[in-house]
């Protein structure tokens, strides 16, 4: 058994035989020719045929994956007909008196290289399209038919890289999953895999020797297992069944509103901790991001992340989400999340210690850098900021002073900023009892039930001995939630829940009765909670 | 010569599909249409050159039109940018 890691493209589990897919190799030799005009005619003829093939692929793709995804084949046809691309091929044939194959391959390489060298990931990925169209004409000229047989049995396709055209050409009934060495999560093939609902991984170190062996693709964990042992196989058969259940639910509930029988709408958002989770946010049809933990930026670094690094990360997330709301929580380091370069003292009681906003307010330079990055990113989408571990109105006033200063500095520098809602987490009993006054100072409340429960019940959740005493549905916690919602509404702001309790479908109905406006849950819980909302009165 | 400025609003910028749309539109006119980003420029009728400018969301480009109908063409193109890009 061998396990390889890869980048997740589409959630799901696939189990089956591995088929190692090899591209049609066109061996190109540079040969001198006498009649350049005849060679040009060969090229034109092949180009026309390639355009017809792309037209047919477009039609097949429209039927299978929709017009928006099929559009790439129209674009490829336009690339084929691009003046610079055509001129380059014609010039090489005429000036060097060489065969069309050589001229086309050289031109394709040059153009692909130009795109591969670009900074932006999206444009970089277009090098694949150029290679694909180049390969298409070459295959026609070399007399290969361009199709690769994958046999009768459904298989997991393992390949170095797959062009969108290769993906669409494959018989979908025989495709279990894609695993490629190259490619990004933004490539068209990745988008197609998502649209077709096929589990896929990219960036996997593949081996040709796997051909014909059994494999498991775990699109949730980003793992590819070759030659799985029996217990692993059994575990994955179970996982696959669960996955299929979930997908059925998805089909039924995707695109539906989060609305109760009596017509009350609830905002259902996702909790995430890393930009790589965005894929599952979109797959599960979340209405926005209700809690984006910004710690990953600090935990993955060896030193304080710069404003620019943070800005790029936040910008990417808000842009990907478009007009949907993205609530980013400022750093919550300390307690169970330790970072060396913060140089924090060892504490006897870290949960009650120097963490989150307490660090931000005593080390404002760290806080300001993060706020600058957040406000800058706010120009690119619908961004909101949330402050954790609040216990008093005084803290909120201090935060607002710093945030106003940061905003003014940016505006003075001529930097555009968006309309940013600023809210707080309610996760301490103090904040609950002060919620009436806090509500007058902020735009929203998000109740962090994990910490709130731990502080209210005085129970350490890491201590298994205390399990018999722990009650997730403790009436004290439910009363606190009710109080927070009431005080929010009295001040005209909204209140949501972003802790684990928000995903507890036993309570969905109760939360709705309490008047909750938003629930933010892990991506995998979105659809079950949507179902609970739709079943509620 | 006529010119106008435009800021791209498409979330991924002037990527393959919108660039393709622009090329199709530009080919309807006989005037010379150039897209400028910073010091670089490309003809609006050439897809790959256009994409090679790597124009992203919120970036401002300048469009220049030169030819017999430059006045009308620039006006129509500006409307096209606003509606599609």
Q: Is B50 left (phi over 0), alpha (psi -120 to 50) or beta?
A: alpha
Helix axes A307-321, A364-377, angle to 10 degrees: 40
Q: Annotate A339-392 with DSSP letters as a single string.
A: -GGG-PPP-S-GGGSS-THHHHHHSHHHHHHHHHHHHHHGGGSEEEEEE-S---
Asked whether residue A18 falls in the same domain as residue A45, the answer is no
Measured CA to CA, the distance from residue B27 to residue A62 in angstroms comes to 25
- CA A379 to chain B, closest CA, distance in angstroms equals 9
pLDDT of amino acid A149? 62
What's phi and psi for A224, nearest 5 deg? Answer: -125, 120
Query: Is B54 part of the contact surface with chain A (CB cutoff 8 Å)?
Result: yes
Q: What is the CATH number of the domain that holds A34?
A: 1.10.274.10
User: Tokens 């010091």 belong to which residue?
Assistant: B39
Task: Say whether pLDDT at A148 is over 60.
Answer: no
Q: What secondary structure letter does DSSP report for B44? A: T
pLDDT category, A26, cuts 50, 70, 90? confident
- CB proximity under 8 Å: A 446-465 to B: none
Any domain includes A426: yes
> Which of A122, A142, A162 is the endpoint of a domain?
A142
Q: Is residue A349 in some structural domain?
A: yes
Shared domain check, A426 and A298: yes
Q: Tell me the domains of chain B and their CATH numbers.
A: 2-84 (3.30.1340.10)
- Report the distance separating Cα A11 and Cα A199, nearest Å: 6
Residue A242 maps to a domain: no
Residues A292 and A184 in one domain: no
- Catalytic residue (choose from A19, A360, A498, A525): A498
- The answer to whether B48 contacts A130, with C-beta atoms less than 8 Å apart, is yes
Residue A112, chain B, CB below 8 Å: the answer is no
B46 and A CB contact within 8 Å = yes
CATH number at residue A19: 3.50.30.10
The CA distance from A285 to A257, in Å, is: 10
Q: How confident is the model at residue A277 (pLDDT cuts 50, 70, 90)?
A: confident
**Among the partner residues A84, A85, A120, nearest to B56 by beta-carbon distance:** A120
Among the partner residues A75, A84, A119, nearest to B20 by beta-carbon distance: A75
Which residues have C-beta within 8 Å of that of residue B14, sequence separation ≥ 6?
A: B8, B22, B50, B51, B53, B55, B56, B85
Regarding whether A414 and A274 lie in a shared domain, the answer is yes
Query: Does the beta carbon of A341 lie under 8 angstroms from any beta carbon of chain B?
Result: no
| A518-521/A267-272 β-pairing | parallel
d(CA A103, CA A28): 10
Among residues A19, A188, A360, A525, the one annotated as catalytic is A188
Whether A75 sits inside 8 A of B17 (CB atoms) is: yes
Domain assignment of residue A243, yes or no: no
Chain A interface includes B18 (CB < 8 A): no
User: Which residue, of A107, A125, A142, is where some domain finishes?
Assistant: A142
Q: Which residue of B has its CA nearest to A84?
A: B46
The percentage of residues in chain A with a pLDDT greater than 90, rounded to a whole number, is 59
pLDDT bin (cut points 50, 70, 90) of residue A145 is low
Picking from A74, A114, A319, the nearest residue to B20 by CB comes out as A74
Q: What is the pLDDT along chain B (85 residues), one digit of tens a residue?
A: 999 999 988 877 888 888 888 998 999 999 999 999 988 899 999 998 898 888 888 889 999 999 999 999 999 999 999 888 8
Total of domains in chain A: 3
Which ipTM did the prediction report? 0.86
Say whether residue B20 is in contact with chain A using an 8 A CB cutoff.
Answer: yes
Tell whether B23 lies on the interface with A, counting CB pairs under 8 A.
Answer: yes
The reply to whether A346 and A330 lie within a common domain is yes
CATH code for the domain of A280: 3.20.20.60
Q: Are B58 and A118 an interchain contact pair (Cβ–Cβ within 8 Å)?
A: no
* Mean pLDDT, range A338-343, rounded to an integer: 81
Q: What is the pLDDT of residues A204-250, one digit of tens each?
A: 999 889 999 999 999 888 899 999 999 999 999 999 998 888 778 77
Active site residue A188: yes
Same domain, A470 and A530: yes
The upper half-sphere exposure of residue B25, i.e. CA atoms within 13 Å in the direction of its Cβ, equals 20
The tokens for A207 are: 């081996």
Return the top range by mean pLDDT from A31-40, A169-178, A331-340: A31-40
Model confidence at A188, in pLDDT bands (50, 70, 90)?
Answer: low
User: Which residue does chain A place closest to B54, by CA atoms?
Assistant: A123
Q: Say yes or no for a CB contact (<8 Å) between A122 and B57.
A: no
CA nearest neighbour of A148 among A158, A288, A367? A158
State residue A523's pLDDT score: 85
- Judged on CB neighbours under 10 Å (0-12, 13-18, 19+), A95 is exposed
Which of residues A526 and A301 earns the better pLDDT score? A526
Instruction: Classify residue A353: in a domain, yes or no.
Output: yes
Residue A31 token pair = 């040969």
pTM score over 0.90: no
Residue in chain A lying closest to B58 (CA): A380
Residues in A touching B23 (Cβ below 8 Å):
78
Question: If DSSP states are collapsed to H, E and C, what string results for A307-331?
Answer: HHHHHHHHHHHHHHHCCCEEEEECC
What is the percentage of chain A residues whose pLDDT exceeds 70? 98
How far from chain centre, in Å, is Cα A323? 16
The whole-number pLDDT of residue A137 equals 93
Tokens (6 digits) for A87 = 């001129």
Question: Which of B10, B11, B49 should one mutate to test binding to chain A, selecting the residue with the greatest count of A CBs within 10 A?
Answer: B11
Picking from A66, A82, A117 by the largest number of B CB atoms within 10 A of its own CB, the best residue to mutate is A82
Question: Which residue among A83, A126, A380 places its CB closest to the CB of B16?
Answer: A126
Residue A59, in any domain of the structure: yes
Give per-residue pLDDT as tens, A440-470.
999 999 999 989 999 999 998 777 788 888 8
Question: Smallest CA–CA separation between B25 and chain A, in Å?
Answer: 13
Subunit contact A115:B52, Cβ cutoff 8 A: yes
Together in a domain, A115 and A156: no
Shared-domain flag, residues A169 and A120: no
Q: What is the pLDDT of residue A454?
A: 92
For residues A396 and A451, membership in a common domain is answered with yes
Each residue's pLDDT tens digit, A350-389? 888 888 999 999 999 999 999 999 999 999 999 999 999 9
CA–CA separation, A497 and A514 (whole Å):
12
Three-state DSSP at A433 gives helix
pLDDT of residue A74 exceeding 60: yes
- pLDDT value of position A69: 79
Residue with tokens 């994956």: A65
Domain that holds residue A515: 249-535
What is the tens place of the pLDDT at every residue in A495-513?
999 988 999 999 999 999 9
Query: pLDDT (tens digit, 9 = 90+) per residue, A391-400?
Result: 999 999 999 9
Q: B13 — contact with chain A (CB < 8 Å)? A: yes
A109: which strand partners? Answer: none
B10 touches chain A (CB under 8 A): no
- The answer to whether residues A197 and A291 belong to one domain is no
**Do residues A449 and A496 both lie within one domain?**
yes
* Statement: residue A190 has pLDDT above 80: no
* Interchain CB distance below 8 Å, A122 and B12: yes
Cβ separation A78–B54 shorter than 8 A: no
Task: Mark which of A80, A109, A142 sits at the end of a domain.
Answer: A142
Which chain A positions have a beta carbon within 8 Å of B16's beta carbon? 71-72, 75, 126, 129
Cβ-Cβ contacts under 8 Å between A and B: the total is 58
Query: Do residues A156 and A19 make contact, with C-beta atoms less than 8 angstroms apart?
Result: yes
Tokens (6 digits) for A349: 């009681």
> Average of pLDDT values for A338-345?
81
Pair A467, A446 in one domain:
yes
Give the whole-angstrom CA distance, residue A492 versus residue A476.
24
Shortest CA gap A85–chain B (Å)? 8
Of the candidates B12, B16, B49, the beta carbon closest to that of A75 is on B16
A84·B56 Cβ contact <8 A: no
Is residue A429 scored above 60 in pLDDT? yes
């Amino acid at each position: 058994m061998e396990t390889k890691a890869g980048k997740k493209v589409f959630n799901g589990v696939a189990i089956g035989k591995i088929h190692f897919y090899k591209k049609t190799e066109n061996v190109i030799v540079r040969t001198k020719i006498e009649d350049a005009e005849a060679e040009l005619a060969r090229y034109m003829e092949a180009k026309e045929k390639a355009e017809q093939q792309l037209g047919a692929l477009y039609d097949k793709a429209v039927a299978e994956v929709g017009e928006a995804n099929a559009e790439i084949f129209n674009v490829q046809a336009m690339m084929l007909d691009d003046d610079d691309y055509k001129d380059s091929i014609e010039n090489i044939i005429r000036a060097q008196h060489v065969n069309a194959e050589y001229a086309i391959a050289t031109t394709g390489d040059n153009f692909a290289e130009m795109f591969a060298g670009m900074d932006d990931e999206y444009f970089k990925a277009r090098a694949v399209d150029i290679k694909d169209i180049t390969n298409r004409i070459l295959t026609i000229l070399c007399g290969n038919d361009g199709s690769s047989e994958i046999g009768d049995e459904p298989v997991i396709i393992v390949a170095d890289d797959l062009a969108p055209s290769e993906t669409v050409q494959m018989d979908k009934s025989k495709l279990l999953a894609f695993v490629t060495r190259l490619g990004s999560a933004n490539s068209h093939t990745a988008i197609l895999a998502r649209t077709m609902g096929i589990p896929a991984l990219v960036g996997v170190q593949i081996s040709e020797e796997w051909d014909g062996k059994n494999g498991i693709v775990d699109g949730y964990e980003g793992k590819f297992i070759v030659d799985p042992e029996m217990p692993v196989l059994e575990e994955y058969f179970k996982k696959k069944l669960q996955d299929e259940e979930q997908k059925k639910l998805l089909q039924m509930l995707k695109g539906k509103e989060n609305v109760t029988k009596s017509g009350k709408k609830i905002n259902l958002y996702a909790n995430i901790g890393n930009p790589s989770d965005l894929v599952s946010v979109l797959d599960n049809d979340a209405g926005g991001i209700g809690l984006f933990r910004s710690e990953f930026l600090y935990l993955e670094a060896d030193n304080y992340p710069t404003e620019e690094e943070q800005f790029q990360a936040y910008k990417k997330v808000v842009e990907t989400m478009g007009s949907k709301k993205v609530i980013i929580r400022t750093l919550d380091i300390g307690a169970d999340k330790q970072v060396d370069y913060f140089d924090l003292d060892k504490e006897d009681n870290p949960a009650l210690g120097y963490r989150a906003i307490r660090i931000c307010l005593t080390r404002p330079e760290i806080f300001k850098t993060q706020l600058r990055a957040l406000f800058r990113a706010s120009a690119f989408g619908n961004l909101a900021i949330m402050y954790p571990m609040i216990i008093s109105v005084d803290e909120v006033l201090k935060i607002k002073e710093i945030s106003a200063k940061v905003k003014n500095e940016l505006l003075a520098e001529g930097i555009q900023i968006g309309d940013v809602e600023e809210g707080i987490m309610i996760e301490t009993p103090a904040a609950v009892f002060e919620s009436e006054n806090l509500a007058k100072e902020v735009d929203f409340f998000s109740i962090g039930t994990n910490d709130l429960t731990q502080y209210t019940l005085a129970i350490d959740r890491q201590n298994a001995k205390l399990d018999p005493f722990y009650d997730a549905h403790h009436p004290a916690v439910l009363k606190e939630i009710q109080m927070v919602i009431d005080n929010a509404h009295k001040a005209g702001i909204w209140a949501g829940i972003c802790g684990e309790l928000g995903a507890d479908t036993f309570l969905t109905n109760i939360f709705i009765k309490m008047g909750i406006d938003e629930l933010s849950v892990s991506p995998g819980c979105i659809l079950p909670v949507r179902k609970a909302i739709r079943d509620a009165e | 010569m006529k010119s106008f400025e435009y800021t791209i609003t498409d979330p991924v910028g002037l990527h393959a599909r919108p660039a393709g749309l622009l090329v199709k539109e530009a080919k309807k006119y006989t005037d010379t249409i150039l897209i400028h980003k910073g010091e670089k420029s490309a003809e609006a009728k050439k897809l790959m050159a256009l994409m090679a400018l790597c124009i992203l969301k919120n970036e401002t480009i300048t469009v220049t039109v030169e030819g017999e109908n430059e006045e009308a063409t620039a006006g129509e193109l500006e409307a096209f940018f606003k509606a599609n890009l």
